[in-house]
């Protein structure tokens, strides 16, 4: 008999609809039941692509005995963290305060008033590795609730007070914005950089695109070759490693080792959107062809496998298929031979070439199978077989296509087909920027359809974003990140098409941030002023797998100030950044997006307004390099629509004309591309 999750829109919640646990979604009904029956609440938070969430479900939530314990003594509430980042943020702070660590699945015990008093992450079915079994935890909590209630309530009240006192982690304003913050942060990143394998820290290793892009910014500002080496070492290692899908394009979530070899196999929309942009920027700076290939393969993967016909992008693909983690992606030597025989060649030499190139062996590197990774350089492979590099590259392209076709016949990983506004904003930005930099009209069309979808399907009647969409229905109040990420994506699309409606839509979302998310003490709350009442109003500042909503909002406001000429936007942005300076200097891995906004503010940024009909040569100059602190507007002379940056601009002698402004002053207008290049340089 299905529980209360059967009609939910979240695929993650529906996965639990047939559990014997009497799950409730987050809402009044579950908490009212807890109060009426005088039971504590068991809150379980996870997401569809979370491997250990699936493990805990199979071990405990599908187990009749464990379900009986939960149903008798608790009211069980299941939350998709991707739909409800506010709930996730509040109770993750609580779990970290209690245990010193966090993660998913997150398991929290609450009073019927939603106060947390005990929590953790994954609990095994049987006690092991020093962890109690989940049934032991349930029994202990039941005893505490029945016989030591006063202690439980006292602990919950004390923990709630801690959460109330420290929104945003207790970060306070440091006053004047200073370049020293950026310099200190850069030195800190240099110290923790893995010079052998790239990235930061040891295993497990996450891509951290915002961090790498910040380092790339600092290279452009300082011309420090060591900073560029940090970027290229990281990007080269990732594109060659198993974290990158060598057949289908796109990145897996993270690497379980320090070498980027064996990934956790789920693919997340937000990772691929951010990494596509990062590799695009690196290609603009270095001209290295493999970086461009990664951009196009990653974006093509998103279009092929993650795009809803309505125009929105799905959230994730699971790590598991056929009951095994990674089964869809890994290979044995015999599977490679069989695939090539069905596809391009039955010659053993070709199979040997492929296996040498992509590290396929009899021993394997993941549970007896091999994760494809570029094990040898093209030059070494060519030398080994006595053929030109071009021959090797051509053969491998054909063989990769053959294996991709065979892989497509395997059971595919489960798809989380909900559409999240914020993650789509990141993806909109990636397709928009790639469209203009690479001259790809197909990417522009994808971006425009995505923007039209977001504006038509995921905005409420009051003009604000909704959080999630599935099968024609949008629901849940949009969070700060939804408004900020979509706003940034719309600005990127505007700077690709210069269609004034995208600027207007971005400005509406920027104004919504100012009207509904501002904290009078500085910065932004995660939830809007009309959001449901929770035990605290969350204010998350640190970047995680995605940039913090506050950092993206600050960046959006800063750019909008230059395009619109409205100084209030800049004031709000700078007040928010000031709050994070001290933390960003001390812990740059968690504040890279804030550092990028600080860099934008202090650069100082430059503005380019281009007016006239034949703007292509001038735009070619603007787009020829990665210029992260440049804001561009374009339109016809005398046009009232669009950014105020265009107001009063005239075409000189009827020719397309560029106006370059910096430090509140504009240079003389130019019409020749070389003159514009000189001004920008």
Domain-by-domain residue ranges, the chain? Answer: 11-166, 199-416, 604-681
Residue 173 has a pLDDT of: 54
The two three-digit tokens of residue 149, written as one number: 């209630």
Task: Let me know the angle formed at the C-alpha of 235 by 231 and 241, rounded to the nearest 5 degrees.
Answer: 150
Residue 170 has a pLDDT of: 46
C-beta neighbour count of 62 within 10 angstroms: 15
Residue 183 has a pLDDT of: 97
Q: State the Cα–Cα distance between residues 64 and 21, nearest whole angstrom.
A: 8
Residue 101 has a pLDDT of: 84
Q: State the Cα–Cα distance between residues 195 and 179, nearest whole angstrom.
A: 26
Domains 11-166 and 604-681 share a fold: yes
Three-class secondary structure of residue 635 per DSSP: strand
In 387-420, which residue ranges form alpha helices assigned H by DSSP?
389-407
DSSP 663: T
Fold designation for 604-681: Glutaredoxin (3.40.30)
Burial state string for 90-99 with b = 16 or more CB within 10 A and e = fewer than 16: bbbbbbeebe
Q: State the Cα–Cα distance between residues 465 and 516, nearest whole angstrom.
A: 12
H-run or E-run covering 78: strand 75-80
Residue 171 has a pLDDT of: 52
Give the percent of the chain with pLDDT over 90: 84
Fold designation for 11-166: Glutaredoxin (3.40.30)
- Please list the ranges in the chain whose pLDDT falls under 70: 1, 166-174, 343, 345-346, 663-664
The two three-digit tokens of residue 108, written as one number: 């929290």
Residue 175 has a pLDDT of: 72
- Give me the helix-helix angle, 269-286 and 289-305, nearest 10°: 150
User: What's this model's pTM, rounded to 2 decimal places?
Assistant: 0.94
Pick from 634, 636, 653: nearest CA to 645 = 634
């Amino acid at each position: 008999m299905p529980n209360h999750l059967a009609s939910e829109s979240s695929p993650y919640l529906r996965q639990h609809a047939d559990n014997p646990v009497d799950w409730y979604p987050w809402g009044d009904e579950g908490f009212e039941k807890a109060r009426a029956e005088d039971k504590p609440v068991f809150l379980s938070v996870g997401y569809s692509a979370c491997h250990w969430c699936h493990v805990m479900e199979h071990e405990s939530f599908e187990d009749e005995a464990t379900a009986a314990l939960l149903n008798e003594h608790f009211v069980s509430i299941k939350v998709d963290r991707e739909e409800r980042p506010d709930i996730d943020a509040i109770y993750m702070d609580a779990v970290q305060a209690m245990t010193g660590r966090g993660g998913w699945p997150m398991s929290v015990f609450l009073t019927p008033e939603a106060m947390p008093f005990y929590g953790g992450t994954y609990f095994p079915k049987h006690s092991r590795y020093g962890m109690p079994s989940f049934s032991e935890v349930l029994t202990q909590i039941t005893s505490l609730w029945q016989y030591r209630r006063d202690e439980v309530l006292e602990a919950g009240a004390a923990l709630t007070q801690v959460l109330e006192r420290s929104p945003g982690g207790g970060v306070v304003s440091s006053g004047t914005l200073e370049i020293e913050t950026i310099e200190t942060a850069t030195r800190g990143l240099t110290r923790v950089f893995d010079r052998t394998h790239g990235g930061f820290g040891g295993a497990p290793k996450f891509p951290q695109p915002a961090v790498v892009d910040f380092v790339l910014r600092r290279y452009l500002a300082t011309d420090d070759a060591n900073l560029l080496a940090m970027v290229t070492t990281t990007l080269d290692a990732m594109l060659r490693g198993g974290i990158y899908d060598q057949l289908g394009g796109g990145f897996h979530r993270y690497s379980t080792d320090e070498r980027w070899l064996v990934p956790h196999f789920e693919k997340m929309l937000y990772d691929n959107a951010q990494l596509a942009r990062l590799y695009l920027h690196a290609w603009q700076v270095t001209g290295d062809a493999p970086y461009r290939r990664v951009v196009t393969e990653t974006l093509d993967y998103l279009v092929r496998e993650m795009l809803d016909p309505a125009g929105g992008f799905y959230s994730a693909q699971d790590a598991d298929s056929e009951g095994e983690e990674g089964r869809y992606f890994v290979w044995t030597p015999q599977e490679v031979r069989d695939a090539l025989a069905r596809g391009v060649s039955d010659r053993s030499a070709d199979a040997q070439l492929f296996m040498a190139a992509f590290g396929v062996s009899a021993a394997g590197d993941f549970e007896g199978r091999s994760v494809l990774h570029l094990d040898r350089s093209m030059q070494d492979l060519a030398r080994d077989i006595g053929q030109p590099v071009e021959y090797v590259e051509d053969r491998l392209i054909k063989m990769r296509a053959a294996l991709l076709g065979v892989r497509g016949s395997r059971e595919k990983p489960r798809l989380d087909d909900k559409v999240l506004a914020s993650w789509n904003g990141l993806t909109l930005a990636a397709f928009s920027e790639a469209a203009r930099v690479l001259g790809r009209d197909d990417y522009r069309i994808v971006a425009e359809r995505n923007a039209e979808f977001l504006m038509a399907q995921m905005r409420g009647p009051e003009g604000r974003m909704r959080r999630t969409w599935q099968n024609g229905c949008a629901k849940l109040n949009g969070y700060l990140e939804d408004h900020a990420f979509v706003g940034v994506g719309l600005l990127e699309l505007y700077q690709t098409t210069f269609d004034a409606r995208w600027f207007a839509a971005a400005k509406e979302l920027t104004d919504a941030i100012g009207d509904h998310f501002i904290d009078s003490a500085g910065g932004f709350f995660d939830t809007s002023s009309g959001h449901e009442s929770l035990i605290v109003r969350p204010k998350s500042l640190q970047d995680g797998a995605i940039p913090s909503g506050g950092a993206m909002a600050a960046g959006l406001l800063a750019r909008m100030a230059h395009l619109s000429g409205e100084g209030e936007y800049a004031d709000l942005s700078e007040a928010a950044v000031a709050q994070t300076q001290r933390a960003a200097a001390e812990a740059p891995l968690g504040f890279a997006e804030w550092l990028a906004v600080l860099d934008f503010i202090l650069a100082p940024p430059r503005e380019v307004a281009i007016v006239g009909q034949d703007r292509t040569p001038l735009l070619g100059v603007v787009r020829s390099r990665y210029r992260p602190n440049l804001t561009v507007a374009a339109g016809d002379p005398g046009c009232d629509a669009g950014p105020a940056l265009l107001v009063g601009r005239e075409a000189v002698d009827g020719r397309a004309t560029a106006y370059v402004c910096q430090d509140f002053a504009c240079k003389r207008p130019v019409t020749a591309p070389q003159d514009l290049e000189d001004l920008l340089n």
